[in-house]
Amino acid sequence: GAVVSQHPSWVICKSGTSVKIECRSLDFQATTMFWYRQFPKQSLMLMATSNEGSKATYEQGVEKDKFLINHASLTLSTLTVTSAHPEDSSFYICSARDSRTRYMNEQFFGPGTRLTVL
Amino acid sequence: QQQVKQSPQSLIVQKGGISIINCAYENTAFDYFPWYQQFPGKGPALLIAIRPDVSEKKEGRFTISFNKSAKQFSLHIMDSQPGDSATYFCAAEISGGYNKLIFGAGTRLAVHP
């Protein structure tokens, strides 16, 4: 199956700093990437959808100036949490799909990044 | 109308038993219904998926049953094993355009030896 990686797998930062999380599709081209946030024992909450070369589409209630998403190539998307605060501590998961193939519905998820803001 | 309701919230099954998780939806435009398995600290992994043109799909010990008229679908795990202990999410999606998955709340399955 298709592989999606995330880096880093975990990060601890001080309040007020910015953190960048990378999401890469390793063996396929991702026309669309998604960023999710998951709190303990809860479901995945979609934050934004990004298509390669286009601006990300953010879900209602997600601050686009705080969560900067860049999808500069067909294999890389980045999420930058700017001026992080303790309430931003969460598990961030990306997923990717190639909408051009017959498996256009399938989303392949990364392993997640655990962010802890002190 | 965009919600997917999943039950039960948690489930305990003995080894060798059948685990059944149910999901219901309202939006008849949904045409893709995947199930994901997630272990603690990991990202979700696609387990099995179905489209509304079939009523059942089986892959190994995992079966999806789909009832279009009732707008319900369920995951059956046969011969449940301790290694199946994980959180399971159902989801639904409308194909095409900027489609996105709508996830259920999740079911925490524990399979006891």
Instruction: Write the DSSP assignment of A44-63 as a string of letters.
Output: -EEEEEEETTSPPEEPTT--
What are the strands, taking DSSP E only, across B44-93?
45-50, 56-59, 62-67, 72-77, 86-92
Q: How far apart are CA A41 and CA A21, in angstroms?
A: 22
Q: Tell whether the model's pLDDT for residue A1 goes beyond 70.
A: no
| Contact between residue A83 and residue A66 where contact means Cβ atoms under 8 Å apart | yes
Which residues 39-68 in chain B show a CB within 8 A of chain A? 41-46, 49
Task: Give whole-number Cα distances, B52 to A36, B22, B28, B39, B76, in Å.
Answer: 26, 16, 10, 28, 17
| Least confident stretch, B4-13, B78-87, B96-105 | B96-105
Contact B43 A111 (CB under 8 A): yes
* pLDDT over 80 at A101, yes or no: no
Alpha-carbon dihedral sign for residues A60, A64, A69, A71: positive
Closest Cβ–Cβ partner in B32, B42, B106 for A105: B32
Residues 6 or more apart whose CB falls under 8 angstroms from that of B64 comprise: B33, B35, B48, B49, B50, B56, B57, B58, B73, B74, B75, B76
CB B49 within 8 A of CB A105: yes
Instruction: List pLDDT tens digits, range B36-75.
Output: 999 999 999 999 999 999 999 999 999 999 999 999 999 9
d(CA A77, CA A22): 6
**Rounded to an integer, what distance in angstroms lies between the CA atom of residue A93 and that of residue A24?**
12
* Residue in chain B nearest A94 by alpha carbon: B43
Chain A residue with minimum CA distance to B94: A105
Confidence of residue A99 (pLDDT cuts 50, 70, 90): confident
What is residue B11's predicted lDDT score, i.e. its pLDDT? 97
Band the pLDDT of A102: cuts 50, 70, 90.
Answer: low
Which residues on A lie below 8 Å from B101 (Cβ)?
A: 34, 46, 107
For residue B36, which residues of chain A lie inside 8 Å, CB to CB?
109
Residues of A in contact with B100 (CB under 8 A): 34, 46, 49
Map residue B82 onto helix, strand or coil.
Answer: helix
Q: What is the model's pLDDT at position B54?
A: 93
Residue type (1 letter), B111 = V
Rounded to a whole number of angstroms, the distance from the CA of A84 to the nearest CA of chain B is 21
Q: Which of residues 28-47 of A touch B (CB under 8 A)?
A: 32, 34, 41-44, 46
Burial class (CB in 10 A: 0-12, 13-18, 19+), B82: exposed
CB A96 within 8 A of CB A23: yes
Which amino acid, one-letter code, is at B93? E
pLDDT band of residue B78 (cuts 50, 70, 90) is: very high
pLDDT tens digits along B32-41: 999 999 999 9
List CB contacts (< 8 A) between A43 and chain B. Answer: 89, 103-106
Res B99 pLDDT > 90: no
**Is the pLDDT at B2 greater than 80, yes or no?**
no
User: What H or E segment, with its residue span, contains residue B25?
Assistant: strand B19-25
Mean predicted confidence (pLDDT) in A72-85: 94
The answer for residues whose C-beta is within 8 angstroms of residue B29's C-beta and 6 or more apart is B94
